[in-house]
Structure 1
Amino acid sequence: MEDPSKAQISRRTGGWITFPFIIASLVGLTLAFGGLTSNLIVYLIKEFGVESIDAAQITNLVNGAGGLTPVLAAIVADSFLGCFSIIWISSIISLLGTILLTLTTTVDSLRPTPCEVGSTSCTPKPKVQYVVLYAAIVLATLGNASLRSTLSTMGANQFDKPKDQGIFFNWFFFFFSGSTIVASTAIVYVEDNVSWKAGYIICVAANVLGTAIFLLGTRFYNNSKPEGSPFTSLARVVVASIRKRKLSLPSTSEDFYHGLMLVEPSKTYRFLNRAAIKSEGDVKPDGSTAKSWRLCSVQEIEDFKTLIKILPLWSSSFFLGTTIGVQGSLSILQALTMDRHLGPNFQIPAGSMLVFVMLSTAIFLALFDKFLFPTWKNLSGKSLTPLQRIGVGHVLNFLCMGVSAIVESKRLNVAKSNQGSIIVPMSALWLVPQLALVGIAEAFHLPGQVSLYYQEFPITLKNLATAMISVLIGISFYLTTTLIDVVRRTTTWLPGNINNGRLDKVYGLLVVGGVLNFGYYVICAWFYKYKNIKAVVDHSDSPSHE
């Protein structure tokens, strides 16, 4: 018989009592990392003398790692350590990186000697300074990125009811967005106008506070045991089908292993069906698999096929993320050369310009549900499907690149008329329309993609929906780095001083690439057949869109 005291303790874990601890730790850790990365380009250029394009490349690598690391962290959490252990370990790693970066502003031997931009009398910086700098960036990036998926997953695991989980996710992303905006404005302002030391000390304090609050809530958390990652199941299908590649496909379904669900193997990608062929010694007397890496159920194979079918659509979004990455990093470089004053006494930090992307995304997400989607449905009689939302995002994305090319062309003309001037007499607010368009495009295609993956993936792979987005973002930023590197090697469009380059042609190239990529997307969407058509209909008729 269960001990009543233990049952009482068990009932006390989880639920809304954990919410303040998880949200407070999210806010602290997001403020810390946002304060470091939002202004990283400016710090690298002004304090370490890194060339502007190289600084942009470094931030793209950071953002790429920020997209791929959450997936790896989720696999480790699901398969081995659990979310709680990943979170506190990652918090410590992030804190170490933040402290190291702060030391580059305080310790004399790690602090770069001030040097005027363009001066030929600057002494080379010791290698140890760069070692500490890049070690700090790597640690802070890996630590914080690992927190991103596991903290949200652990928070959702505290609730049993889907309604409570939905409310938690809404608040989670609200506080995440709010913290990012505060870090990109308030902390960046301190770094630009008070000192880098003061700004980074605030980041350290936020990291310490976030970690401490998370650990304070330890006794209240409902810690789920690792149950294995869905990626493991997918890998098993590949391995088992390769190991049985020489076997002939049986004519009846009785020779396939079905597990707990009786599912007929489909005729698409039939070579994968071999993974479910029962051989001697594959199945135990109780009906379970004896060799999990040699035998998979038909359902597991069909789940893998679902993923294969959606991959072309998924791949068409690589270029979406690439253009966003290029513009995000290069817009900061543009802002550094422009007049950022609002009135005589206030100057917008260059690292804060990307806030306009987040603000436009948030505003238009609210307008969609309250105004745009209901209006569209009244006019057409139908709601936008996920594929249509993604398609609109594609169009807005390459239109945004066109606007960026026009604005940059004007900026270059002004720069040529004022040769010798580091700051071009042109307001940085000219960049707002293109940044706002990026945010509006994201408000279309990102929710559209999440919705598509959630409704189309089988129940066993629902967790992959978020992972698909993270991997997409990570790959896109690495492609951004590659694209910029290729342009630098093959053209003169991206010199160290962008006033002497042709950034407008880079944006023009992205317009052409965006149009071609949209054509590829249309072809993929045209041939794609919704697996779960009922979910599409239900989504279209849901109360939130009426």
Structure 2
Amino acid sequence: MPEPAAKQGSWVTFPFTLATFTGLILAFGGFLSNLIVYLIQEFNVKSIDAAQISNVVNGCTSLFPVVGAIIADSFLGCFFVIVISSCVSLLGMVLLTLTALLHSLRPEPCENGSSLCQAPSKFQYAVLYAAIALAAIGFGGTRFTLATMGANQFEKPEDRGIFFNWYFFVFYTSSVIASTAIVYIQDNVGWPLGFGISCLANLVGLAIFLAGNRLYRHDMAQGSPFTGLARVVVATLRKRKVLLTSRPEDYLHDQDGAANDVVTSTKKSFRFLNRAALKTEGDLNSDGSIARPWRLCTVQQVEDLKTVIRIFPLWSSSIFLGTPIAIQASLTILQALTMDRHLGPHFQIPAGSILVIVLVTSSIFLPIIDRLLFPLWHKLRNQPPRTLQRIGVGHVFTVLGMVISALVESKRLKIAHKGQVPMSALWLFTQLAVVGIGEAFHLPGQVSLYYQEFPASLKSTSTAMISLIIGIAFYLSTALIDLVRKTTSWLPDNINEGRLDNVYWTLVVAGVLNFGYYLACAKFYRYQNNVHKAVPASA
């Protein structure tokens, strides 16, 4: 039997949720960080195709948290979503480990220098893709749901703030360990052991989570707030011919709503949506309750949808901010595979570990931004930086990172064409570090913006908007790479024969245009909650 409600939750659950998250992130990082290399070396997948598969997987793991959040809110609650998702990811990791362990599940290895490599059979592809899909969906379902459940264990906002600080710390440190130690084992000891460690980390994380079940505060599913937004759209369409009035009593208010406030808010923008809250014959029962919920909504629900619409342009600019980063992430690994990755005579940097520079740089600059740069800004300008200003700085650093990527790739191609000693992979560190600094600005800024500006009914899912942005960005990057391959000769299977630098210059142009779009959106945006305090990086 569960413990009494008064004894459930709080700090006693902290070790269980953080240890669970550590295990799952270690498993996730060990699965995804080196996936491109595994596909190329063990399944004879062409380099650009492997990068595309990695982008699709990244997109899935970023989109599915939104699905998981909706399922948790509407039907199962956080606990069961986490358990089911962890079991799904464990099954995927077991299958992936088997593909590395059993020769029958992989094609024959390629001969060095040979262009005739045996492609995987349909059965081998089926097992591989099933493993990848299960792992991606499972890990996606736990990432933000576990954060929500962990925060729900606390009553005080300051306790939740401390939990999120540790959540981000565990995410970065576990990702770094997975991207270095586990990837090194995969490259130098063996894929079966590397994937086996990830599989074990997933299992241990799930076991620890279940062990703390008696201590958790279990929140019941109360319905997704997105349902309320959908009701506003449907009700507006069904009442599209109904004439609007200016009398507050003609609209359905919340029980504690003030009529004067409603009149002011409903006249500001998107007035046509007010029809959803307009009372017509048959909408209410005799006791005042809603008789037809898909024809009548409250004014608050209407205003919630208006808030989402107002912030949508800013949100869309973040999609095109994430797309160049997603493209760079996959193509940088392909660059690293053609470069000299040795540090001394006996150690070689795994190609899949190159991207850890982004994580390390972001981790270093988060406290620098909060403890040094923001206080300095406040002192010089006599006011703290606004959230939109922080995101704008992230845009600039991201574009700068693409410029450096293009210049480095131009130099790498010249050296490769001359047949000289391969260029050192250390040249890639600068572009990744600059992108990491940009993420330290714009990612926490976006989390804060959505949490600050979204309506109260959407607070629990507002932070998942970042995951949605990342997912769409990865899928869009996949489509753009396909477009480049079909319309240009810049991305052949052997990137030494292409013009990857032109791809980066294209991203620079797109980034500049998107930054202009962002500036226009930011100029016309008005903060809904009028909060302009500096935002902690761990928010």
TM-score normalised to structure 1 length: 0.95
Report deviation, 1:318: 1.3
User: Secondary structure in 1 aligned to 2:279?
Assistant: coil
Comparing 452-461 with 310-319, which one deviates more in the overlay?
Answer: 452-461
Report deviation, 1:108: 2.7
| Contact preservation (8 Å) 2:340, 2:422 | yes
In the alignment, the residues of structure 1 paired with residue 276 and residue 124 of structure 2 have an alpha-carbon distance, to the nearest angstrom, of 53
Comparing 106-115 with 138-147, which one deviates more in the overlay?
Answer: 106-115
Q: CA RMSD in A?
A: 1.7
| Contact preservation (8 Å) 2:412, 2:423 | yes
Task: Give, as a single letter, the amino acid of the residue that structure 2 aligns with 1:305.
Answer: K
In the alignment, the residues of structure 1 paired with residue 392 and residue 407 of structure 2 have an alpha-carbon distance, to the nearest angstrom, of 23
Report deviation, 1:207: 1.0
Match of 1:105 in 2: 100
Match of 1:347 in 2: 348
In the alignment, the residues of structure 2 paired with residue 98 and residue 440 of structure 1 have an alpha-carbon distance, to the nearest angstrom, of 32
After superposition, the C-alpha distances for 1:343-373 in whole angstroms (9 at most, x for unaligned) are 1111110100111001111111110111111
Task: Give, as a single letter, the amino acid of the residue that structure 2 aligns with 1:125.
Answer: P
Q: Indicate whether 1:532 and 2:493 are aligned.
A: no
| Contact preservation (8 Å) 1:52, 1:333 | yes
After superposition, the C-alpha distances for 1:316-344 in whole angstroms (9 at most, x for unaligned) are 11111000001111000001110111111
Task: Give, as a single letter, the amino acid of the residue that structure 2 aligns with 1:314.
Answer: W
Task: Give, as a single letter, the amino acid of the residue that structure 2 aligns with 1:519.
Answer: G
Match of 1:426 in 2: 423
Match of 1:312 in 2: 313
From 217, 229, 232, give the equivalent of 1:237. Answer: 232
Match of 1:412 in 2: 413
In the alignment, the residues of structure 2 paired with residue 118 and residue 476 of structure 1 have an alpha-carbon distance, to the nearest angstrom, of 35
Match of 2:498 in 1: 501
Match of 2:126 in 1: 131
Q: Indicate whether 1:451 and 2:448 are aligned.
A: yes
Report deviation, 1:117: 5.0
Match of 1:325 in 2: 326
In the alignment, the residues of structure 2 paired with residue 543 and residue 132 of structure 1 have an alpha-carbon distance, to the nearest angstrom, of 44
Cα distance change on mapping 1:244 and 1:514 into 2, 3 Å: same
Match of 2:487 in 1: 490
In the alignment, the residues of structure 2 paired with residue 284 and residue 314 of structure 1 have an alpha-carbon distance, to the nearest angstrom, of 39
Task: Give, as a single letter, the amino acid of the residue that structure 2 aligns with 1:241.
Answer: T
| Contact preservation (8 Å) 2:151, 2:164 | yes
Report deviation, 1:112: 2.6
Match of 2:250 in 1: 255
| Contact preservation (8 Å) 2:44, 2:117 | no
Task: Give, as a single letter, the amino acid of the residue that structure 2 aligns with 1:436.
Answer: A
After superposition, the C-alpha distances for 1:287-341 in whole angstroms (9 at most, x for unaligned) are 3322221111111101110110111111111111000001111000001110111
In the alignment, the residues of structure 1 paired with residue 313 and residue 292 of structure 2 have an alpha-carbon distance, to the nearest angstrom, of 32
In the alignment, the residues of structure 1 paired with residue 242 and residue 54 of structure 2 have an alpha-carbon distance, to the nearest angstrom, of 49
Report deviation, 1:120: 5.0
| Contact preservation (8 Å) 1:259, 1:288 | no
| Contact preservation (8 Å) 1:96, 1:139 | yes
**Runs of 4+ off more than 6 Å:** 542-545
Q: Indicate whether 1:442 and 2:439 are aligned.
A: yes
Cα distance change on mapping 1:543 and 1:365 into 2, 3 Å: closer
Task: Give, as a single letter, the amino acid of the residue that structure 1 aligns with 2:267.
Answer: S
| Contact preservation (8 Å) 1:386, 1:451 | yes
| Contact preservation (8 Å) 2:45, 2:119 | no
After superposition, the C-alpha distances for 1:467-515 in whole angstroms (9 at most, x for unaligned) are 2211111111111001111000000000001011100000000111111
In the alignment, the residues of structure 1 paired with residue 141 and residue 440 of structure 2 have an alpha-carbon distance, to the nearest angstrom, of 25
Cα distance change on mapping 1:406 and 1:122 into 2, 3 Å: closer
Match of 2:459 in 1: 462
In the alignment, the residues of structure 2 paired with residue 544 and residue 494 of structure 1 have an alpha-carbon distance, to the nearest angstrom, of 37
| Contact preservation (8 Å) 2:339, 2:423 | yes
Cα distance change on mapping 1:435 and 1:276 into 2, 3 Å: same
From 521, 532, 546, give the equivalent of 2:518. Answer: 521
| Contact preservation (8 Å) 2:92, 2:135 | yes
Match of 2:475 in 1: 478
User: Secondary structure in 1 aligned to 2:466?
Assistant: helix
| Contact preservation (8 Å) 1:49, 1:117 | no
Unaligned stretches of 5+ in structure 1?
none
| Contact preservation (8 Å) 1:104, 1:112 | no
Q: How many residue pairs align between the two structures?
A: 532
In the alignment, the residues of structure 1 paired with residue 212 and residue 407 of structure 2 have an alpha-carbon distance, to the nearest angstrom, of 52
Report deviation, 1:118: 4.8
In the alignment, the residues of structure 2 paired with residue 317 and residue 495 of structure 1 have an alpha-carbon distance, to the nearest angstrom, of 29
Task: Give, as a single letter, the amino acid of the residue that structure 2 aligns with 1:197.
Answer: P
Cα distance change on mapping 1:355 and 1:453 into 2, 3 Å: same
- Identity percentage over the alignment? 62
Residue correspondence of structure 1 range 73-112 to structure 2 within 5 A: 73-112=68-107
Comparing 455-464 with 76-85, which one deviates more in the overlay?
Answer: 455-464
User: Secondary structure in 2 aligned to 1:338?
Assistant: coil
| Contact preservation (8 Å) 1:401, 1:511 | yes
After superposition, the C-alpha distances for 1:378-436 in whole angstroms (9 at most, x for unaligned) are 222222111111111111111111111000000000001117xxxx5211010000000
In the alignment, the residues of structure 2 paired with residue 402 and residue 531 of structure 1 have an alpha-carbon distance, to the nearest angstrom, of 35
Residue correspondence of structure 1 range 48-447 to structure 2 within 5 A: 48-116=43-111, 118-120=113-115, 122-260=117-255, 261-262=257-258, 263-264=262-263, 265-418=266-419, 425-447=422-444
In the alignment, the residues of structure 1 paired with residue 400 and residue 117 of structure 2 have an alpha-carbon distance, to the nearest angstrom, of 43
In the alignment, the residues of structure 2 paired with residue 10 and residue 209 of structure 1 have an alpha-carbon distance, to the nearest angstrom, of 27
In the alignment, the residues of structure 2 paired with residue 123 and residue 475 of structure 1 have an alpha-carbon distance, to the nearest angstrom, of 33
In the alignment, the residues of structure 1 paired with residue 32 and residue 283 of structure 2 have an alpha-carbon distance, to the nearest angstrom, of 51
| Contact preservation (8 Å) 1:266, 1:302 | no
Cα distance change on mapping 1:64 and 1:544 into 2, 3 Å: closer
Cα distance change on mapping 1:505 and 1:22 into 2, 3 Å: same
After superposition, the C-alpha distances for 1:27-53 in whole angstroms (9 at most, x for unaligned) are 111111110100000000011111111
Report deviation, 1:66: 1.4
Match of 1:510 in 2: 507
Report deviation, 1:119: 2.1
In the alignment, the residues of structure 2 paired with residue 321 and residue 296 of structure 1 have an alpha-carbon distance, to the nearest angstrom, of 35
Comparing 489-498 with 111-120, which one deviates more in the overlay?
Answer: 111-120
Task: Give, as a single letter, the amino acid of the residue that structure 2 aligns with 1:244.
Answer: K
Comparing 460-469 with 69-78, which one deviates more in the overlay?
Answer: 460-469
In the alignment, the residues of structure 2 paired with residue 157 and residue 293 of structure 1 have an alpha-carbon distance, to the nearest angstrom, of 30
Task: Give, as a single letter, the amino acid of the residue that structure 1 aligns with 2:311.
Answer: I
Report deviation, 1:121: 5.1
| Contact preservation (8 Å) 1:362, 1:443 | yes
Task: Give, as a single letter, the amino acid of the residue that structure 1 aligns with 2:313.
Answer: P
After superposition, the C-alpha distances for 1:107-142 in whole angstroms (9 at most, x for unaligned) are 232133221255255444321111100110000000
Task: Give, as a single letter, the amino acid of the residue that structure 2 aligns with 1:45.
Answer: I
